[in-house]
Structure 1
Amino acid sequence: MALSTFFAEPFYSLADFDRLFDEAFNARTSAVSPRQQGDNSVSRPMRPRMDLHEDQEKNLVTATFELPGLSKENVQIDVRDNILTVSGESTISSERDEKGYSVRERRYGKFSRSLPIPQGIKPEEIKASMENGVLTVTFPRTTPEQAPKKITIS
């Protein structure tokens, strides 16, 4: 997206503005050409959107990831060194060839999102479910050992 096009069209969203900066930054720092497919589409890294909600009353954190078109078999969730990583791969349909596309905005390829989890959370305390392309991961906000304890003054 050219900068002149961005400012000429009044109905671009903030996501388009973010994409403009991502494309500019990636073009300057990437050693790989942004035109990897050989046509005039620009390759952008796939980064699923995420909502993160903390419920202090229930001591629960809920991370919700948008993964449209993916099934749970295409998604992996790993925990290592108190980092929860959601990764996977979205593939392009092989039934359509590259010719004939005027616009191709759907992203495909490998993706990964990571977020820190509290110290002491056990993997069995992390729950995940996926429905209609939305992955929901829940885990405790703190462990009972980390909860504040009242100390009486004698």
Structure 2
Amino acid sequence: MALVRWQPFQEMGDLQRQMNRLFDDMVAPADRRDGVGALFSPAAELEENEDAYHLKLEVPGMEPGDINVDVTAEAVAITGERKSEQKTENKGMTRTEFRYGKFQRVIPLPGRINHQNVSADYKNGVLNLNLPKAEDEKNKVVRVNIGQ
């Protein structure tokens, strides 16, 4: 058995590289790490009332044609792409902090909906979905047995 010299600073460097890779992967997956098409996830808000669920999704700077909404009885899947404006400057540097690229959000719903009667509205960068509840969900009463 050979003796190996312990090199704590090398191990710290390895740990730092692993942590950097972990945080890089959280911000942009390895296949999209070039910064051009970094993924983003729009903010969403879900509210419920007696008759429907109301879902709001924040997608500023997009056209309604760039957003796809697929609805099932149990979930809403929203996909889209924010396209970047191609600007080039001969002198100087161009810097942008806007996020461009594709996004996908699948939002599970707390109850079943009537997915045939979903309506959508897009105004001022906010997508509003009205998701009417299924009739059997509206009148659903569950009896709870209390045992000794």
| Range into which the TM-score falls when normalised by the shorter chain | 0.5 to 0.7
Tell me the CA shift for residue 29 of structure 1: 9.2
The TM-score normalised by the length of structure 2 is 0.65
- Return the TM-score normalized by structure 1: 0.63
Unaligned 5+ segments in structure 2 are 1-21, 144-148
* Deviation of the 1:65 alpha carbon: 0.8
Counterparts of 1:1-154 in structure 2 under 5 Å?
24=23, 26=25, 30-32=29-31, 34-37=33-36, 44-55=38-49, 58-80=50-72, 82-94=74-86, 96-97=87-88, 100-101=93-94, 103-117=95-109, 118-119=111-112, 121-140=113-132, 142-146=133-137, 147-149=139-141
Q: Which 4+ residue blocks in structure 1 deviate beyond 3 angstroms?
A: 27-31
Tell me the secondary structure at the aligned position of residue 26 of structure 1.
helix
Distance 1:54-1:150 versus aligned 2 partners, 3 A rule: closer
Counterpart-to-counterpart distance in 1, 2:32 and 2:64: 32
Counting aligned pairs with the same residue, the percent is: 23
Q: Distance in 2 between matches of 1:73 and 1:132?
A: 14
Q: Cα distance, 1:127 vs. partner?
A: 1.2
- Counterpart AA for 2:58: E
Higher-Rg member (1/2): 2
Distance 1:98 1:34, change over 3 A: farther
For residues 28 and 48 of structure 1, the distance between their equivalents in structure 2, rounded to whole angstroms, comes to 14
* Pair 1:84–1:91, CA change in 2 (3 A): same
- Any gaps of 5 or more consecutive residues in structure 1? 1-22, 38-42
Show CA shifts across 1:8-37 (max 9, x none): xxxxxxxxxxxxxxx716169944362354
